[in-house]
Amino acid sequence: MAKKRSRKIKKKKRIRFHRSFFLPFLVTLTAAVALGVLALAAHQWIMEPVKKQPADIVRSSQGIETHETEGAEPAEKEDAAGDEGESAGVEQGTVSRYQEELDDPAYMEENNIYTVEPAEPGRVTMTFAGDILFDTNYAIMGTVRGSGDISQGIMPEVIERMQAADIMALNNEFAYSNRGTPTADKQFTFRARPETAAYLTDLGVDIVSLANNHAYDYGPTALEDTLDTLRETGIPYVGAGRNIDEARKPVYYIVGDLKIAFVSATQIERLDTPDTKEATETSPGVFRCWNGARLMETIREAAQNSDFVVAYIHWGTENQAELDWAQLKQAPELIAAGANLVIGDHPHCLQPIGVIQGVPVIYSLGNFWFNSKTLDTGMVEVTIDETGIVSYQFIPCLQSGCKTTLLQGAEKERVLSYMRSISEGVRIDEDGFVSW
């Protein structure tokens, strides 16, 4: 026990000896290190927001996780992503929302789904025009007939606006065919050579409506030739088909992160036995909406399968700016069914722009390039994003001397003033932008 006690005492003495020698040194060293750590931490705390803030913003706006890496280059890449705003998020969102459809060509073809790259990420610009005619037997083709150059009829500045749209749509009021027999006792029947469908590509057209009272002028054979010609030309069509399922089927466009549906139908002719036949289960024709029940069902289905629905409707009374009772009845029904935008044609003249429950309606765009008369006309340019319509612009044009031109100056203001005078519930500024 004495030895053990002796060792214990010696040990305690050694401990006391070391404390008395090193303790002041250790305290001083520890204090110095602590001060250094605090200084470094303070420096990093001051500099951290400057270095990290852009990356944090990018993570927050895109809703994605990133990992910090050393060096300046990764930080610069994050800053670049931040400078692009949310466009990167839109591109990534497109993949996440619709990639399954885009990766299935058979599904895309079966469901009339097309895709284009937007000129401006996160937004889609759609431009609409009224009636066109490529029949060489009529005066409108006089300026183009010899040269085969569509810019001799629709002026280059107009074409430039058409080509700038992500999606350009108009009313194709004739058949493409060399076959068929003209409808008996019909005053005007229209048919163009199939090769003239190439003009649509020259104009920048992306989709046409066939829901009108002239697509069937040369009977079912010519209508089927029209469908084949447009398909071969690469122009989607809506509002007619080999049977009623095809005729009423929407066309969809996936543009960035948005999916847009186009539905088209015709009220004309308003007869129980019209010259322009409605498609049936077994025969070709157009999609008629004089009885609108099936059209409303189609719009409801399109609304369930897309982010935005365009209804392009052939209605109204020819050469009359006043709206008729059938337009006034059906317009609210279209919107109640789910249409986000209504574009009208058939009257061959401009009709009012209105708004119903926050949805704009232009009841008729009139002739765009259709006959030799001098008529005011125009295009509507609509830009949308994920929230809905961002801008709506009426672009005044003039059909005169078998040419369609873009109006400027006093003539532009004249047409805008006229549109203001017939349009209730909306405001139209000096550039044609419409608000409500």
Q: What are the tens digits of pLDDT across the range 156-181?
A: 999 999 999 999 999 999 999 999 99
Residue 102 and residue 55 share a domain? no
Domain match, 44 and 192 both: no
35-49, 94-108, 132-146, 290-304, range with the lowest pLDDT: 35-49
Instruction: Answer whether residue 396 shows pLDDT above 90.
Output: yes
Identify the CA nearest to 376 among candidates 327, 346, 411, 428.
411
pLDDT at site 29: 53
Per-residue pLDDT band at 10 (split at 50, 70, 90): very low
Domain assignment of residue 115, yes or no: yes
Give me the percent of the chain exceeding a pLDDT of 90: 76
Got the DSSP string for 257-316? TEEEEEEEEE--S-SSS-SSPBP-SSS-EE-B-SS-HHHHHHHHHHHHT-SEEEEEEE-S
> Quick one: DSSP state of residue 145?
T
Tens of pLDDT, residue by residue over 107-129, are 999 999 999 999 999 999 999 99
| Average pLDDT in the chain | 84
pLDDT at 3 over 80: no
* Token digits of residue 248: 């009423």
Question: In angstroms, rounded to a whole number, what is the distance separating the alpha carbons of residues 266 and 316?
Answer: 10
Residue with tokens 């409500």: 436
Q: What is the pLDDT of residue 292?
A: 95
Alpha-carbon distance 421 to 436, whole Å?
15
Give residue 35's pLDDT. 57
Domain boundary among 59, 83, 107: 83
C-alpha span between 81 and 191 (Å, rounded): 52
What pLDDT does 146 receive? Answer: 87
Residues 237 and 282 in one domain: yes
Would you state the pLDDT for residue 422? Answer: 98
Mean of pLDDT values over 366-393: 97
Looking at the fold, whether 346 and 427 belong to one and the same domain comes out as: yes
Residues 312-347 pLDDT 10s: 999 999 999 999 999 999 999 999 999 999 999 999
Per-residue pLDDT, averaged over 43-62, amounts to: 34
**Is residue 89 situated within a structural domain?**
no
Domain encompassing residue 130:
97-435
**CA pair distance 383, 390, nearest whole angstrom:** 5
pLDDT in tens, 189-218: 999 999 999 999 999 999 999 999 999 999
The pLDDT value recorded for residue 272 is 81
274 assigned to some structural domain: yes
More confident residue, 53 or 165: 165
pLDDT given for residue 273 in this prediction: 87
Q: State mean pLDDT over 381-409.
A: 98
pLDDT higher than threshold 60 for residue 425: yes
For the ranges 89-103, 227-241, 252-266, which has the lowest average pLDDT? 89-103
67 shares its domain with 202:
no
User: Phi then psi for 344, rounded to 5 degrees?
Assistant: -115, 155
d(CA 422, CA 419): 5
Q: For residue 41, what pLDDT is reported?
A: 52
For residue 67, tell me if it sits in a domain: yes
Residue 384 burial class via C-beta count within 10 angstroms: exposed 0-12, middle 13-18, buried 19 and up? buried
Residue 72, pLDDT score: 39
- Residue 309: inside a domain, yes or no? yes
- pLDDT value, residue 32: 56
Task: Output DSSP code: residue 417.
Answer: H
pLDDT mean over 352-356: 98
pTM over the 0.85 mark: no
Together in a domain, 26 and 101: no
Do residues 189 and 238 share a domain? yes
The answer to the question of residue 380 being in a domain is yes
| Residue reference for tokens 């322009």 | 276
Identify whether 90 is part of a domain.
Answer: no
- Does 316 share its domain with 172? yes
Mean pLDDT of 34-44: 53
Same domain, 59 and 103: no
- Answer with the one of 55, 83, 111 that is the final residue of a domain: 83
What gap in Å lies between CA 264 and CA 260, rounded to an integer?
Answer: 13
Q: List all residues 6 or more positions away from 61 whose beta carbon is below 8 Å from its beta carbon.
A: 82, 85, 86, 89
Last residue of a domain, one of 56, 83, 110: 83
Does residue 88 sit within a domain? no
Same domain membership, residue 115 and residue 13: no
Say what the pLDDT of residue 28 is: 52
Q: Tell me the average pLDDT across 272-284.
A: 94
For the chain, the first-to-last Cα distance in angstroms comes to 103
Q: Is the pLDDT of residue 13 over 80?
A: no
What CATH number does residue 342 fall under? Answer: 3.60.21.10
**Residue 273 shares a structural domain with residue 398:** yes
For residues 397 and 316, state if they share a domain.
yes
Q: How many CA within 13 A on the CB side of residue 88? A: 16
Over residues 50-74, mean pLDDT: 32
What's the domain count of the chain? 2
The pLDDT value given to residue 7: 32
pLDDT recorded at residue 40: 54
